[in-house]
């Protein structure tokens, strides 16, 4: 059992495996996630004192005091020349544990992410609300960062990002970009968004619409002429609309449906797959674009019809999750087993792929 093992040694080993996540639990070997699969690193377990020492070395005194008070802490950590990491510190059976998500330092180009072409078109929107949804680890942050970078290279505008924590770091090119981190630069997303509206922004990125106040401010910002990008942990477009509406008290839901119908521009719902050749990951993306028909559906609480509209509007750039999955399989990018396992309608997709 080791106490003196260095965190950077663990991270270097994980980097060589191209791991997306690192899990450090006291008295267990360091574990990593490589292309969705958890595996142990060939290193000694770190004991409880070693885990506490590692945490104390990578946070500020104030952050450590916050951890001791709240027993959970989210922050970012960077190893120069290697990567930045999004970190959650927590207790596991009374001992410090760390979950670390590797963040690639360079912002990827949209064209290199195997995303639908329509997403590039969304970066030309002058105003409105664009939501990128999906499970944790589905690539939402990467998609949004690539969209911000595309606008950074094209426009002369003011972009403000509100993040928990800051993941990709941007260099202001044609745009002025300010990045604010939860807990360091602002107490809550809602507070950061409220004050951002007084800072002359053109484009606002909200890391996550977690609560009613944040959602209401994001929609108001979109209504008042800003382009707002944000995320939700939902699996499809219809669920995304309902999640936002359900944040509001019953008496206000008709009003918010109208506001959402007027401001929402698109919902992108992502799922990540292991590539069949073992060389990384590839996203399948459901795309909902807010046409007049979709706006009426939202306004009239007929969200159950959204799936049908997506299916019949492929010419406009919309596509369902299962259509996106089928395209990946037919292009040889993913295996049939993985395609069927993550489909919205597995039996229907299996019949489609067998045809």
Q: In whole angstroms, what is the distance from residue 109 CA to residue 107 CA? A: 7
Strand partners for 179: 161
289: alpha, beta or left, given left = phi > 0 and alpha = psi -120 to 50?
A: beta
Is 124 found in the same domain as 99?
no
Residue 340, pLDDT score: 95
Is 150 found in the same domain as 272?
yes
Is 93 found in the same domain as 117?
no
Is 266 found in the same domain as 173?
yes
Binned at pLDDT 50, 70 and 90, residue 137 comes out as: confident
Residue 2, pLDDT score: 55
Number of domains in the chain: 2
Is 123 found in the same domain as 86?
no
DSSP letter string, 317-338: T-B-HHHHHHHHHHTTSS-HHH
Is 330 found in the same domain as 181?
yes
Binned at pLDDT 50, 70 and 90, residue 3 comes out as: low
Is 346 found in the same domain as 253?
yes
H or E segment at 9? Answer: helix 7-16
Q: Residue 97 belongs to what domain range?
A: 7-103
Is 259 found in the same domain as 165?
yes
Please state the separation of Cα 355 from the chain's center in Å.
34
Query: Span 331-355, mean pLDDT?
Result: 91
Neighbours of 355 (CB within 10 A): 5
CATH of the domain at 164: 3.40.50.300
**Quick one: DSSP state of residue 166?**
-
Q: Does this model's pTM top 0.85? A: yes
Choosing from 103, 118, 135, the residue where a domain stops is: 103
Is 188 found in the same domain as 47?
no
**3-state SS assignment for residue 163:** strand
pLDDT, tens digit, for every residue of 87-130? Answer: 999 999 999 999 999 987 789 899 999 999 999 999 999 999 99
Is 95 found in the same domain as 43?
yes
Residue 166, pLDDT score: 86
In-domain check, residue 191: yes
Q: In whole angstroms, what is the distance from residue 86 CA to residue 136 CA? A: 12
In-domain check, residue 1: no
Residue 1, pLDDT score: 55
Choosing from 103, 130, 147, the residue where a domain stops is: 103
Residue 219, pLDDT score: 97
Residue 131, pLDDT score: 98
pLDDT above 90 (res 164):
no
Mean pLDDT of the chain: 94
In-domain check, residue 174: yes
Is 82 found in the same domain as 191?
no
Query: Span 304-316, mean pLDDT?
Result: 96
CATH of the domain at 42: 3.30.450.90
Burial class of residue 48 in the structure, from the number of CB atoms within 10 Å of its CB (0-12 exposed, 13-18 middle, 19+ buried): middle
Choosing from 103, 137, 165, the residue where a domain stops is: 103
In-domain check, residue 332: yes
pLDDT, tens digit, for every residue of 248-303? Answer: 999 999 999 999 999 999 999 999 999 999 888 999 999 999 999 999 999 999 99
In-domain check, residue 252: yes
In-domain check, residue 2: no
Is 140 found in the same domain as 74?
no
């Amino acid at each position: 059992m080791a106490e003196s093992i260095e965190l950077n040694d663990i991270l270097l080993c994980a980097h060589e495996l191209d791991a997306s996540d690192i899990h450090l639990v006291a008295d267990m070997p360091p574990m990593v996630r490589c292309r969705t699969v958890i595996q142990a690193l060939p290193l000694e377990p770190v004991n409880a004192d070693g885990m506490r020492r590692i945490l104390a070395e990578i946070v500020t005194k104030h952050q450590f005091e916050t951890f001791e008070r709240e027993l959970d802490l989210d922050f970012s950590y960077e190893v120069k020349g290697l990567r930045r990491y999004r970190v959650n510190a927590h207790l596991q059976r009374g001992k410090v544990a760390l979950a670390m998500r590797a963040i690639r330092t360079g912002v990827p180009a949209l064209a290199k992410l195997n995303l639908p072409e329509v997403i590039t078109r969304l970066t030309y929107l002058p105003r409105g609300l664009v939501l990128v949804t999906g499970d944790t680890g589905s690539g939402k942050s990467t998609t949004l960062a690539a969209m911000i970078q595309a606008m950074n290279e094209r426009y002369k505008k003011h972009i403000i990002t509100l993040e928990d924590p800051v993941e990709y770091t941007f260099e202001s090119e044609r745009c002025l970009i300010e990045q604010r981190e939860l807990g360091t630069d602002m107490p809550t997303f809602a507070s950061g968004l409220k004050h951002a509206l007084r800072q002359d922004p053109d484009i606002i990125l909200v890391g996550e619409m977690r609560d009613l106040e944040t959602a209401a401010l994001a929609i108001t910002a979109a209504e008042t002429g800003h382009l707002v990008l944000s995320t939700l942990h939902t699996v499809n477009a219809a669920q995304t609309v309902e999640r936002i509406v359900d944040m509001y008290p019953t008496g206000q839901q008709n009003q918010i449906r109208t506001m959402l119908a007027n401001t929402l521009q698109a919902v992108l719902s992502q799922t990540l797959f292991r590539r069949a050749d073992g060389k990384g990951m590839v996203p399948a993306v459901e795309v909902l674009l807010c046409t007049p028909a979709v706006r009426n559906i939202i306004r009239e609480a007929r969200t159950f019809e959204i799936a049908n509209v997506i299916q019949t509007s492929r010419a406009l750039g919309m596509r369902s999750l299962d259509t996106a999955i089928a395209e990946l399989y037919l292009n040889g990018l993913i295996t049939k087993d993985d395609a069927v396992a993550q489909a919205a309608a597995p039996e229907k997709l299996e019949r489609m792929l067998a045809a």
